[in-house]
Structures are given as structure tokens and as C-alpha cells.
Structure 1
Amino acid sequence: MTSGCFFHEPIRLPIDLNEQSDTLKGTDLIRVSKFYKDSKDGRFMSFLHDDARTLYDVFRKGAKESNNGPCLGWREGPNKPYQWLNYNEALLRAKNFGSGLISVGLAAGPHTLVGLYSQNCPEWILTEQACYTYSLVVVPLYDTLGPDACAFIINQAEINVVVCEDEKKCNLLLDKAPRCLRKLIVIKDTRPTTNQRAKNRGVEILRFEDVERLGAQRNHVELPPKVTDLCTICYTSGTTGNPKGVMLTHQNVVAAISAVILQLSEYKPTYKDTMISFLPLAHMLERCCENAMYLVGGSVGFYSGDIKKLSDDMKALKPTVMPAVPRLLNRMYDKVQTELQRSCMKRILFNMALRAKEGEIKKSIVRNNSTWDKLVFRKIQESLGGRLRLMLIGSAPLAGNVLTFARCALGCLVVEGYGQTECSAPVTLTIQGDYIPEHVGPPVACCCVKLVDVPEMEYYAINNQGEVCVRGTNVFVGYYKDLEKTAEVIDEQGWHHTGDVGMWLPNGSLKIIDRKKHTFKLSQGEYIVPEKIENIYIRSQYVAQVFVHGESLKSCVVGIVVPDVDVVKCWASENGIPGTLSVLCNNPEVKRLILDDMLAWGKDAGLKSFEQVKDIYLHPDPFSIQNGLLTPTLKAKRPQLRAYFKPQIEDLYQQLD
């Protein structure tokens, strides 16, 4: 299916959008998918095809579906075209590399864990498939975990071999290398000094291609995995303490991708589709999207590794399918808004185009070839390669106006999902043709969802509100070597408690409204949800980052704000106020400007007066992973932020008293 094939035909709605989910027989509190008829009886989808029930089978199925079509694509550099490995070649190389892993001393079978520390590239997938060929388990490592967490993982999982991208990553691992680490297999060549450094620590460095060559010579007999075998242990970075290893089986991941493909019905990816790979493969959203592409025989092209050049890669690849995260769309939206500020004419034209396209979307018409597309949105569409037909958004909540903008401007189908690593990624997914934003759709066919009372926050299932709990074929086995943490989130009936608070909308779709942990009571007994307030204030053009804080002994909340350097400097120069950002942060006029704008946004969004910040402190340096104030998935580390800004917070409260 190419991007131009839906002209004026509305999307065929697969189900009635007024009734998006069913209830489990005998209960009205547990909701299930309408796309799988056995769901009502409490049976959940495990696979789409009987001959593709593990990720080992999935890849082989894709080779057949595509008739050995292009599988893994990459570019050697800017202005270079994409080159491709076909499915059969990828399968052969994966088999050889897997045989090589056995040849260098790993035991085949699901008790052997292999570390994988690399950016997205063909070798990542070759390693993944190599592991599955011999029932080994993939343990991804990623930069943002930091060296301590990586060492913790290698140690906990007793990993002997890590497949490693380059010199830099090798050295990061060698800095803290635990005893059990024996071999690093490098994709890109390393210098003799690094090899020597490794040797001194009792670690051998081997080249990827040498291991492949050795495996081809030895040609060990394959040992395909069983459905119930682990395929991966995906470590999630907690906001506190050591990362937790989420154990996922082949069945978990295959069930997750099968349910999403089933729900997308005729808009599902096929062997004719090409996907751009740029979200980290160490996270389950990207892993699932790619394995879904391999199941149908589609092609996956890897970005060149620099997010700033993503648009160049997309222009060269011209993908039809793209997984995305809110940050990317927010950036696109902000860029467009900034450009529109410069010209009144452009703004009028743009708003007319947006209104016209929104009118079409409300009739379920999705296209990129209207007059408005040619006049106004062509540039945005071309920046993504010009052929996009399906975008899948996950990982964090997306503002309604940004989602609607994306649907209008991109002229492709945009669906939004909600999920967790613990559920192999998807739990719910919006339905094609549903144009209403700010909800995450009904449960997918591999699981059911119920809401459970959270009395301390006054959420009750009887009012269709509560903690989101999930049960099904996509739900993980438990945390690796951590029975205690597993018991905290999986109850005796097998329900996984997500920690997110949701609400059933009248049409049977789910809306995420809160997070269970981050709430506090003010002295007058009012509950405060800081993340909700932050998500409103962040809309202010002057605010780059914001942390809202309150205490049970105080009657109001205060905020720490990192201003948007460009916007604030621009305003300051227009108003004849000199100085660096640090100087401007201490300027009362600048503070007044930012605080007033935040309060205006808060008022618009309907914040109650006790939810609005009474004062703010301006801080010139962004919260980051490096300074320990953000998690690897860029969520605020609230306890750390609280401790870091303790003096400023105390100062704000003192002045308010």
C-alpha cells in the first residue's frame, strides 16, 4: 500500500467508535478487545499464524512473505543511498554469528544471556536473530543507563559476552567491568590500546566478522526456542534504585505484535512497507515495531545515528511506516509555530488549511494530496520522506492539539498506544478513523484491562476510574532475580498493576489521567498531582522544563523552572534587558513574565487555585540524565530534584510565609 492510495475514500471503521471495547463475560469491570472474538470468554490472542509463534519463526515467515525481499537497510554516510541485506542473507549471517557465539564458548539454550550494547544498526538485528537461532536471551544495554547500571546488569545477569558497537562503548564497559565479563565482540574496529586495556582486565576483544566467519566454519546445529522460552530481559531504569530486568518470553512479544497487526486490519504493515528505525532498540516499543515488520516481510532502514540528521535519512529512505514519540512531534509542532509567528499571511493560510484538513479527518478521510497539502503541508511531509502512511505513537502522553496537528499536516494514519515494558509494549491502541485525541484507545487483543480503586487519591472503579491493571499473553513473567519486586506488581490472580491511573470513557476507550506514586496532600487536605500541573505549564513558550513541588505542611505549591533560552533571550533583547541566561534568571521582570504566562496557561486548562504555583525559582541549567535529575527515558527523578533544589524550595516557602 503506497501513500497515495487513499484519495477521498474515508477509512473503513473496523468497529463502532461509540463502543470500542467489550466486557468479559460475567463481569462489567474487565474490558477486552472487540477484534478477537474469544476475548469475551477470557482467551487472549497469542499469535496470528500457526507457523510464527516465536521470534525465530517470525523472521523466517517474513523471508517467505517477502519472497526474499530487502530486509535491513543502512547508509554509509550523508548523500549516500541506502544499501540492503535481503532476508535470506540476513538469516544466513544471523545463523553464522549465532554459531560463532557457541564456538567462542557460550552454551546454547535459554539459560545463556548475551549483552548487546549498540545503537540501532543491522548488526543489532543480526545479533538478536543469532541469539534466537540458538535459544539464547538478548539483554540490551543502553547509554542512558550509565556505567554503574550497566555493570550492575552484567553482574546480575552473569553475562560473559557483550556485543558492542565501538571503541567508546567498549571503554565504558571496561571502566567498571564485572568479573563475569570475558568477551567483547565489536562491530566497529577498536585500537590496539583498547584491546590491550581489555586484555589487562581479562577481557578478550573479538571482531564481529571474525565471530561470523568462525561460526560459518563450525556450523553448529540450530536450537530454535520454545514459545515459553525467554527471548529478552529488558532492563527498565527506575526513578529510584537499580534497574529492574523485565523477563519477556517469545510468546509475550509475538502476542503483542500480533494483536496490534490484527487491530490495524487493512492498514497493517505488509511486505511492501518500509520502516525507519531511530527509536532505541533497547526499548520494547521499537523492538515490537521492528519484529512486526519482519513478521510481514517488510523492510527496516536504520537512521545514520545522529538525530539531527533524521530528516536527511528519511528523505533518502522514504519510509511508509514510522514509530514516533511525543518529543519528536512536539518539536515539529513548535518549529512550525515559530515559523508562523514571522508572517501574518502564512499564519492565516496555515489555520485555514488546518481547519479544512480537520474537517476531513472528522469524516475519517486521511490523505496527503488535497490542495491544502500541496499549498501548505508539502514541506512537512517531504521532510519525512513524502511517503508516510502509518505513524504509531507511544511512550508518553501527547497533547491533543499536537496530535490533531500531526494528523492534518502529515496526511497519514496516526494511531496512539499506551503500554509498558512489562506488557511487551502495547496495552491499548487507538482505532484508525477515531479522530478524537487525548485518550489511548481500547485494550489490544492479547490482554484485558481493569481499573482498581486508589482510595487515597479518591479514584474508584465504580466511577470508571482507578489504577490500570493488565492481564494477558503479553504480560511479563516477572523481574529477573527479584521475587519481591515482582510480587509488588503482579498479584495472585496474575494482574499486573501498572501504577498508572486511568479512566474509562463512555465509548469504552481508556484515558490515562494520573500516576499513582507522585501525589501529595497539601495542609488543607487537597491532593496535588504535580505531573498534571507540569504538563500544562510546559506549554508556555518561555518554559523549557518545570518541576512542581508541594508539601503536606504547606498550603500551596511552588515551581522550579528552566527557561527556554532562545525565547527568553529574544524577549530580553527586544525589551533592552542585557545579560546571559544566568543573569536573566535573576531578573524580577523576567520572572514576572514567565510566572504570569504559566498562570495564564494554568487558568485556561482549568487548574484550581491551590494547584497553581504561588512562586517560582528560575534555574539556568537544564535537568539532564548527566546531572542525575532525569531518568534514561527523560522522566523527572522527583526525589533527586527535591533534594537538589532543597535550599531554593525552602527559600520560596519562607518568602511566601
Structure 2
Amino acid sequence: MTEPMKQSYWYCDACSRLLLHGEYRFNCTVCDNYDYCEQCVTTVDPPHPHRMIPELAYGREETIECATADLATAIRAAIRMYSDRHCMGTRDVDKENPSIYMDSYSWLTFKIIGDRSKNFGHGLRRLIEPRGYLAICGGNRPEWMITDFACIFQSIISVPIYTLFNDREIAYIVNNTKVSAVVCDKKMLKRFIDLQSQCPSLQHIVCMDPIPDVISNTPDNGLSIHFMGDIEQAGFIKKYDYVTVEPDDCLTIIYTSGSTGFPKGAIISESAFRATFPRWCLPSSLERVTLSYRPLSWAADRDAIITTFLCGGRTGFSTGDPSRFMEELGLVRPTYFGAPPSIWNKIYTEFKTSLALITAHCPSEVIA
């Protein structure tokens, strides 16, 4: 007997059909909670006056009971419970000219993020033992969180490093925690290679991006350089058992900005970090969407992403270009948004500028 298709929480506002779980719904960027199905978005005449963005429709998920109350178990439960939902996304670029950003995002599902995190964790065990220290240094992107989850799964202590630290501050953190492996992006790769002579504990660098030939041919100095995709492939081939992080064990070390001297490290236990996330894997028709733009080496956005992840929401990552921030805010359309005063001032300034332009081009009777 064929299992009936699961219904979603959404219906088409044109034909009133209830959408099925896994179908695309085309959501209006202006009207509140207004959606078309895939057929109506191309056939309705006259077409809807506002831009419609494709998003996944999904239905109620079966609750998964966690046998233990640790963070690693909660993350794995979310991966299983929300496996086919969109999880993390990055802004598309022009295929012909990667320096040009498109007005769209591409999304990875919970299953893809989960599989990559598990495989990367298995692969890291070839380089570093549980309870070892691993630094993460790179821009906001899915690979940053994949590394974070991989460390949690294998009881590796993560040490986020701010990309704008100078070489002296980075070397201090690496030596202070005896970091033996670093996961970084291509922008930070050359800096860590150059710092290796000052950091005797550093043995491995894993790059989130393909390694340029000029760097892969660097003379042997006791430092191994790896591509993240190769480590994930190795982890797919050879599996290791998960390693439990005990409640009082150190899970991560978060460093201050260093504005009053060298950065100071705060040791965060598993139970203290887990206490930030009181809600785990509870079915809800409310979709949580987050825009990640603050450095993940700080606690705020890292916590926001994990909170969103554990309730089945999705996170869109900013490109990191401040001039594109308002574009990305409109493309991701977060349902939750935290910001310092400087960002709110920027939003207010953009609003006043747009309002002035609209007012200048409207007839006086419309404004009245």
C-alpha cells in the first residue's frame, strides 16, 4: 500500500490547494504570508504584482526523543527530524564572473549538513585526538558550523579565532591553548602557514576551500596542509565512534576582542554551552529564519545559528560585505534579528533615504 503524501502547513492563495511536504511554495516578499504553488506562479493572470521567492513547504515532523541530554545528541536528533528541510544557505554568484553576486541564495538541507559534519568529524580523528584543541578561523559560512558540529561529535575542543586579529594575537591564542590543528578559509591559509614557525604545537591546517597550487607545493616544514573535502571523504570511508562530552568538560574556548591587551579566553563547559538552547526539536508551524553576519568567533551569531538549527529553522550567511548588507537582509528575510546600534542606525538611514526618494517622485496629493 502506497503511503499517502504528507501535507504541509501552507496552501496556495490562488487555487486554495494545500501544498504537500517537500513542494516549493512561492512566497511574496511584500504581502504577509501569501504563497502560490509552482503551477499558479506561472499561470495566474494577471500575475502577482510583487516578487515571489521559492521556499520549501513542510509539514509536522515526528518528535524524536533524546536518550541523553547532551548537545551532540540534540544536534543529531535535529538532523534526523528535519532531514529534508533547508538548513544553511549562501548567496549565489555569477558563474561567469564570481565577483558578481546574484539576488538569490542556494540552500543545503539538514541531511547534507549532518552528513558532512559527521564525516568531517570522523576524518578529523586522523589528525587530532578527542580532547585536543582545534582552532576555527574563517568567514561566516556553512563550513564554519560543520567544523563546530564535527568537534562536538568527537569531543574536540573548538577555539574560534577572530579573522581581524593581528598575527601576534593569533599566535598568542594558538600557543595559549596548544592548538594542534586549524580549520580556516583560503583568506587565512597563508597567514597560518607563515605563523607556524611561531606556533610549535601547530601540526595541521585544514582549508575550507581548494588549496592553490602555489601553497600546496610549500616546502615540508613539519606542517601538513589538507583540503576539507578530502578530510570529509576520508571520514566517509573510515568511521570512528562518537565521543561523549561530559557536562563539566570544556566544549569550547571563546576569546575576547583583545581591546585591553592580549585576548582572554573563557572556558565554556558542555553544560554551560547547552544551557543557551532550552528548546530542542519541538514541532512548530512557525519558521525561524536567521541572517548570520556577525563574526562566528563571537558568541552571538554562533548561538543564534544553533538555536535556529535545533528548532528546524534555516540560516542564510552574509557575504561579509557591509555594502551588500541591506540586500542580503531583504533576500534572507530573517524572522529573528539581533544587532548592535550601528546596524540599526544603518537600517534607519537606508529607510530614510528610500522614503525621501519615494516622496520626491510621488504626486503631492498621494503624499497628502
Asked whether the two chains share a fold, i.e. TM above 0.5, the reply is yes
- Work out which of the residue numbers 214, 236, 241 in structure 1 matches 2:256: 236
Closer, same or farther: CA 186–338 of 1 in aligned 2, 3 Å: same
Distance 1:271 1:230 in 2: 33
1:627-646 superposed matches below 5 A: none
Closer, same or farther: CA 183–334 of 1 in aligned 2, 3 Å: same
Q: In structure 2, what residue type is equivalent to 1:150? A: I
Match of 2:12 in 1: none
Match of 2:129 in 1: 107
Distance 1:124 1:291 in 2: 12
Residue 285 of structure 1 deviates from its aligned partner by 0.7
- Work out which of the residue numbers 62, 66, 75 in structure 2 matches 1:59: 75
- Work out which of the residue numbers 325, 333, 342 in structure 2 matches 1:327: 342
Residue 330 of structure 1 deviates from its aligned partner by 1.1
Match of 1:457 in 2: none
Match of 1:312 in 2: 327
Match of 1:187 in 2: 208
Closer, same or farther: CA 165–69 of 1 in aligned 2, 3 Å: same
- 1:89-111 CA distances to partner (integer Å, 9 max, x unpaired)? 2212111101111023x112xx2
Closer, same or farther: CA 80–201 of 1 in aligned 2, 3 Å: farther
CA RMSD of superposed structures (Å): 3.1
* Corresponding position: 1:294 with 2:309: yes
Residue 277 of structure 1 deviates from its aligned partner by 1.3
- 1:217-252 CA distances to partner (integer Å, 9 max, x unpaired)? 111121132222222101112322211111112211
- Contact residue 151 and residue 157 of structure 2 kept, 8 A: yes
- Contact residue 271 and residue 299 of structure 1 kept, 8 A: no
- 1:285-314 CA distances to partner (integer Å, 9 max, x unpaired)? 111111111111111121223232223333
1:387-426 superposed matches below 5 A: none
Closer, same or farther: CA 221–344 of 1 in aligned 2, 3 Å: closer
Closer, same or farther: CA 155–273 of 1 in aligned 2, 3 Å: same
* Corresponding position: 1:174 with 2:196: no
Aligned residues: 295
Match of 2:6 in 1: none
* Corresponding position: 1:70 with 2:86: yes
3-state SS of 1:174 partner: helix
- 1:495-539 CA distances to partner (integer Å, 9 max, x unpaired)? xxxxxxxxxxxxxxxxxxxxxxxxxxxxxxxxxxxxxxxxxxxxx
* Corresponding position: 1:142 with 2:162: yes
Gap regions ≥5 residues in structure 2: 1-8, 10-26, 34-64, 94-100
- 1:39-91 CA distances to partner (integer Å, 9 max, x unpaired)? xxxxxxxxxx9757333123223234435422121233122632222222221
Residue 142 of structure 1 deviates from its aligned partner by 1.5
1:111-122 superposed matches below 5 A: 111-122=131-142
Distance 2:344 2:150 in 1: 34
- Contact residue 83 and residue 111 of structure 2 kept, 8 A: no
TM-score, scaled to structure 1: 0.41
Residue 126 of structure 1 deviates from its aligned partner by 0.8
- Work out which of the residue numbers 134, 139, 155 in structure 1 matches 2:175: 155
- Contact residue 143 and residue 208 of structure 2 kept, 8 A: yes
3-state SS of 1:190 partner: coil
Q: In structure 2, what residue type is equivalent to 1:169? A: M
Residue 187 of structure 1 deviates from its aligned partner by 1.1
Distance 2:68 2:342 in 1: 34
3-state SS of 2:337 partner: strand
Distance 2:78 2:328 in 1: 24
3-state SS of 1:310 partner: helix
- Contact residue 52 and residue 61 of structure 1 kept, 8 A: no
Closer, same or farther: CA 180–67 of 1 in aligned 2, 3 Å: closer
- 1:624-655 CA distances to partner (integer Å, 9 max, x unpaired)? xxxxxxxxxxxxxxxxxxxxxxxxxxxxxxxx
TM-score, scaled to structure 2: 0.71
Distance 1:137 1:340 in 2: 49
Match of 1:250 in 2: 270
Residue 119 of structure 1 deviates from its aligned partner by 0.6
Match of 2:32 in 1: 4
Distance 2:236 2:357 in 1: 61
